[in-house]
Amino acid sequence: MPLTEAPQGGDIKSHKLHEDRLFPSDPVQRDIARELYAEVSGLPIISPHGHTDPSWFAKNENFGNPTELFLAPDHYIYRMLYSQGFDLADLGVPDRNGVPEHDPLEAWKLFASNYHLFRGTPSRMWLDHVFAEVFGIDKRLSADTAEEYYEVIDAALKSDDFKPRALMERFNIELIATTEGSTDSLEHHEAILASGWKGGRVISAYRPDAVVDPEHEQFKSAMITFGEMMGQDVFSWKGYLEAHRLRRQDFINIGTTSSDHGHITARTADLSDVEAEDLFKKIVTGDFTAEDAELFRAQMLTEMARMSIDDGLVLQIHPGACRNHNGKLFASHGRDKGADVPSQTEYVQALKPLLNKFGNDKRLSIIVFTLDETSYSRELAPLAGHYPAMKLGPAWWFHDSPEGMRRFREMTTETAGFYNTVGFNDDTRAFLSIPARHDVARRVDCSFLARLVAEHRMQIDEAHELAVDLSYNLAKAAYKL
């Protein structure tokens, strides 16, 4: 039972997005922010990294009911409800046996009755944006309005206007990248290309974690599949690397411009050929230590960088999440259930082998992310502000929020500047929230620039140019789009 009761119903509150939301309240700064935002609010969306499902755009089928679309897959939402004592089953969150028996409307009501829990969170801001802008609802979500919300959204989702391709066009998404593993099929991407649809580009990112991380639960089976798919002896070092090279080319063929690597740490290595091959032998025999596994992941980042110099893929490193912290929940529900927690992450020594090997190579582009904000000013901005091959990814995951983005700019700009950053990543599987997320990022960046202008630290013409760069140009340049 949650400790806090939902607020008493009373009046049904109006729900309109304020046109100045997220801008500073100081009139000088607010007016500048307005002026900058006016120029970027209508720019197309570039979504160069995320986790939407390519089958949505290939099949273009209607989404499911509101609970299925908004609650069951969104760990931002159910982690908050879970933390307050609610059961995931009541929200329709799938466990290892599939979707639990639940009443979607009751799940929605539970969520609506506890909407106050999300006050001050980015989820609240994204959801309000979706409800108002995508569904045109003008009342606040609460116990009182839950049914009305459910009906309006449910009806809309059944219409043609709310099919994935229609939404992609309405959202003005110029390009979206999904993420697929080495052994995932690219059939949906191929189908999209074959369909001749011109409403937006859908590309992928090559994420080989399951065949790169020896401690991944699917490593063994994924390796076997990988070898079969690529026609290579992936249990030999040479064949393994060749399989990656070939698979990267498959991804490139459907438009992919980046790889992505979600390791526990940022560690990289620069082993000799002999050392690397010896290590690989230990890995594939299964007779390896935790340190061997770590070293193998480290070396593979350098191998991927080497391939990037040849084939041009941008290398993304997303380190620092302690995955599946809640053992019981992992046992019952599996991965990605809101129990991932950031850890302290070191970059200076960790990235040194890779950066010493390839960091001065202008052909290479490495984008580094962090969940450890202490590294912004201390490690990442100084590194990105020096190495030609390194750029700094935007505020990520738990820090993809107004305060998180503000801290990102405040702590990175003075050392790395704006032009060693890469624009915004929504990094989401919540397709309907993508415009909301980019809107928040644009508003926060315009507010940051407005402060610099209002404090006479930048001139207005420069802020105009930067607003467009941060909203659109930098992402296209950094991801080679």
Of residues 326 through 345, those in contact with a copy of itself by CB under 8 A are 326-329, 338-344
Per DSSP bridges, beta strands 341-342 and 321-322 are: antiparallel
Residue 315 phi, psi dihedral angles, 5° rounding: -100, 115
User: Sign (positive/negative) of CA torsion 290, 293, 299, 304?
Assistant: negative
Q: Which stretch binds a copy of itself (CB under 8 A): 14-22, 147-155, 177-185, 274-282?
A: 14-22
DSSP 35-54: HHHHHHTTSPEEE-S----H
Contacts of 18 (CB under 8 A, 6+ apart): none
Q: Show the site string, 133-152: x = touches a copy of itself by CB under 8 A, - = not.
A: -------x------------
Cβ closer to a copy of itself: 94 or 342? 342
Q: Show the site string, 392-411: x = touches a copy of itself by CB under 8 A, - = not.
A: ------xx-xxxx-----xx
Q: Which stretch binds a copy of itself (CB under 8 A): 94-102, 180-188, 240-248, 324-332?
A: 324-332
Cβ closer to a copy of itself: 168 or 383? 383
Q: How far apart are CA 152 and CA 295, in angstroms?
A: 53
Task: Give least dist CB 387 to a copy of itself, A.
Answer: 6
Cβ closer to a copy of itself: 199 or 385? 385
Cβ closer to a copy of itself: 273 or 461? 461
Nearest of 382, 376, 440, 435 to residue 410 by alpha carbon = 376
Task: Give least dist CB 163 to a copy of itself, A.
Answer: 32
Centre a 10 Å sphere on the Cβ of residue 99 and count the other Cβ atoms it contains.
12
Cβ closer to a copy of itself: 63 or 358? 358
Cβ closer to a copy of itself: 191 or 348? 348
Q: How far apart are CA 50 and CA 295, in angstroms?
A: 27
Task: Give least dist CB 90 to a copy of itself, A.
Answer: 13
Interface residues for a copy of itself in 16-75 (CB under 8 A)? 17-18, 20-26, 28-29
Give burial (CB, 10 Å; 0-12/13-18/19+) of 1: exposed
Task: Give least dist CB 101 to a copy of itself, A.
Answer: 21
Which one among 301, 466, 467, 470 touches a copy of itself, defined by CB under 8 A? 466
465 lines the binding site for a copy of itself (CB under 8 A): yes
Pinpoint the alpha helices (H) of 41-186. Answer: 54-59, 66, 75-83, 104-113, 122-129, 146-157, 164-170
Pinpoint the alpha helices (H) of 196-258. Answer: 209-212, 219-230, 237-253
Interface residues for a copy of itself in 70-109 (CB under 8 A)? 79-80, 82-85
Q: Which stretch binds a copy of itself (CB under 8 A): 48-56, 239-247, 285-293, 466-474?
A: 466-474
Task: Give least dist CB 28 to a copy of itself, A.
Answer: 4
Burial letters 445-456, b for 16+ CB under 10 A, else e: bbbbbbbbbbee
Task: Give least dist CB 467 to a copy of itself, A.
Answer: 12
Interface residues for a copy of itself in 175-214 (CB under 8 A)? none
Which one among 381, 441, 467, 475 touches a copy of itself, defined by CB under 8 A? 381
Report residue 377 as tokens.
Answer: 């000013």
Contacts of 138 (CB under 8 A, 6+ apart): 14, 15, 16, 132
Contacts of 210 (CB under 8 A, 6+ apart): 181, 182, 183, 216, 218, 219, 222
> How many chain residues are in contact with a copy of itself, going by CB under 8 A?
103
Interface residues for a copy of itself in 341-380 (CB under 8 A)? 341-344, 346, 348-349, 352, 355-356, 359-360, 362, 365, 371-374, 377-379
Cβ closer to a copy of itself: 210 or 475? 475
What is the chain's Cα-based Rg? 23
Task: Give least dist CB 464 to a copy of itself, A.
Answer: 10
Which one among 245, 306, 386, 429 touches a copy of itself, defined by CB under 8 A? 386
Interface residues for a copy of itself in 408-447 (CB under 8 A)? 410-411, 413-420
Give burial (CB, 10 Å; 0-12/13-18/19+) of 429: middle
